Amino acid sequence: MSVVDAAPVLGALLIVIAIARNGFAPAWRAGLSRRPIDHNSQLRAGREALALLREQSRDRVDPTYLTAAELGGYAAAAKRETEGFGKRALDVAAAVSLLLICAPLMALTAIAIKFDSPGPILYRQRRIGLGGRAFEILKFRSMVSDAEKNGAQWAAKNDDRVTRVGRFIRKTRIDEIPQAINVLRGEMSFVGPRPERPEFVSLLEKEIPNYHLRHAVRPGITGWAQVKYVYGASVEDARIKLEYDLHYIKHFNLWLDVSIMFMTVRVALFGIGSR
């Protein structure tokens, strides 16, 4: 079927969606209108309808159904909104609360790491943040000190580089708590796309169209992809997580941030998606 031949089919789909949203009469009038049919408009409207249906069924945005201009518009709007006072106030309040509430846990974690394996307690690593700028992320060390002697690599399931304490703090996300300091510094947000390493960003930007759009907002300690998807360790995983990140960027609001924070508690308690 050619693109032009597909236009009536997509138009019919649009009528069905209109019936579901507005009742029979508006869709009936739209379907029986005698105005000349604009196939390009029908295709565009059909494409948008399919994108909406896929997003609503999966809680993520499939960029193949959207134009670069549409995706760029979502990213630009999110950049403006996430730079507002409300977002920053929520970030600071959440970061300070996390550090105060978890202070005893952080002290115990530091002692456990020190006795479990040689090396520093905190681990510093370059990541890519807002606007593609690099910064140094803070984490509790969960791997042996020479874990990357052979270069950067994603963590594998049952990775033998992970220490005994590291396995527990990764599963419960305790290793991420020091990133509250990154939030207070303004390098990260509490909620946003997870920051990736420069080596992986270079690879993923070549392999995945529009991957750079996730850098339109500050990276987060947690995010929509982290509460909706498992730990990712491949290009295909990164592709799927980008769709979740684009959903967050498209629909950003403070209530979404708050809901993700509560969902993160469930993820931490049950160790969902850790590796």
Residue ranges per structural domain of the chain: 3-58, 81-270
Burial class from Cβ neighbours inside 10 Å (0-12, 13-18, 19+) for residue 158 reads exposed
Proportion of the chain in helix, strand, coil states, percent, rounded to 5: 65, 10, 30
Reported as a pLDDT band with limits 50, 70 and 90, residue 275 is: very low
pLDDT at 27 over 50: no
Reported as a pLDDT band with limits 50, 70 and 90, residue 10 is: low
More confident residue, 230 or 42: 230
Determine what percent of the chain is predicted with pLDDT higher than 70. Answer: 75
DSSP H or E run through 193: none
How many other C-beta atoms are found inside a 10 Å radius of the C-beta of residue 75?
20
> β-pairing, 134-140 with 122-128?
antiparallel
Reported as a pLDDT band with limits 50, 70 and 90, residue 45 is: low
Q: What integer is the mean pLDDT of 255-273?
A: 84
> For the segment 237-258, what is each residue's pLDDT rounded down to a tens digit?
999 999 999 999 999 999 999 9
The pLDDT value recorded for residue 114 is 93
Q: Are 180 and 220 a contacting pair, CB within 8 Å? A: no
More confident residue, 124 or 27: 124
pLDDT at 55 over 90: no
> For the segment 87-116, what is each residue's pLDDT rounded down to a tens digit?
999 999 999 999 999 999 999 999 999 999
Q: What integer is the mean pLDDT of 114-130?
A: 93
> For the segment 176-195, what is each residue's pLDDT rounded down to a tens digit?
999 999 999 999 999 999 99
pLDDT at 42 over 70: no
The pLDDT value recorded for residue 231 is 73
Q: Return the sign of the alpha-carbon dihedral for residues 42, 43, 47, 53.
A: positive
The pLDDT value recorded for residue 68 is 81
Strands (E), the chain: 122-128, 134-140, 189-191, 220-222
Q: Which amino acid is at 136?
A: E
Rounded CA gap, 195 and 95, in Å? 17
